[in-house]
Amino acid sequence: MIQNSIATFKCEVVQRKLQLVGKSATGNFPQSFPEVAMNVQQDFENRRDEVNHVVDHEVIYCPYLANSLIATYFACVEVNEFSSILDGMMAISIPMTTYAKISCSNKTVDKGYEKIFYWMKENGYRQESLEKAFPMEVFYFEDDVEEEIVELYIPIIN
């Protein structure tokens, strides 16, 4: 267990509807991850201030989709409206979705996934098909800190 971690590992059910603008990258799965995810995040961080109508520049939404061969990982910001999407970026509209959510940190993401899937099983929830919904990692960036809050969202049905 990590001592003095900001990770609470609090699990809950939430509903979210999001409009996102960002970049994506695809790679062989699992061989090229987490490098592909880290690279697209870094690339997007350098351009996130160019996006219009952003709700909060310090919160990066990372939906993803994967099968046993490849995965596509997105790095995005939430926007109030879609307008003039920049070259190399895309708009993603995520309809109202029910998620199991856990709060962890950038140092405890693996443990966060273990705990949320255990909690889902114990509470009778199943993951929604990746054909119908995106799982998401949400990063809350802060300057000059080693550990930042990360929320994991797993789309669910019960």
- pLDDT at residue 4 in the model: 63
- pLDDT at residue 2 in the model: 45
- pLDDT at residue 20 in the model: 98
- pLDDT at residue 3 in the model: 53
The region, left, alpha or beta by phi > 0 then psi within -120 to 50, assigned to residue 54 is beta
* Contact partners, residue 123, CB within 8 Å, separation at least 6: none
**Alpha-helix runs per DSSP H in 28-129:** 35-45, 109-122
Residues in the chain: 158
In the chain, the domains with their CATH numbers are 11-157 (3.20.80.10)
Per-residue pLDDT of the chain (158 residues; tens, 9 = 90+): 445 678 899 999 999 999 999 999 999 998 998 899 999 999 999 999 999 999 999 999 999 999 889 999 999 999 999 988 999 999 999 999 999 999 999 999 999 999 999 999 999 999 999 889 999 999 999 888 889 999 999 999 96
Rounded CA-CA distance 142/32 in Å is 27
- pLDDT at residue 107 in the model: 93
- pLDDT at residue 144 in the model: 85
- pLDDT at residue 131 in the model: 87
Query: Do 137 and 62 contact (CB within 8 A), yes or no?
Result: yes
Q: Would you give the distance in Å from CA 12 to the centre of its chain?
A: 16
With b for 16 or more beta-carbon neighbours within 10 A and e for fewer, the 33-49 pattern comes to beebbebbbeebeeebe
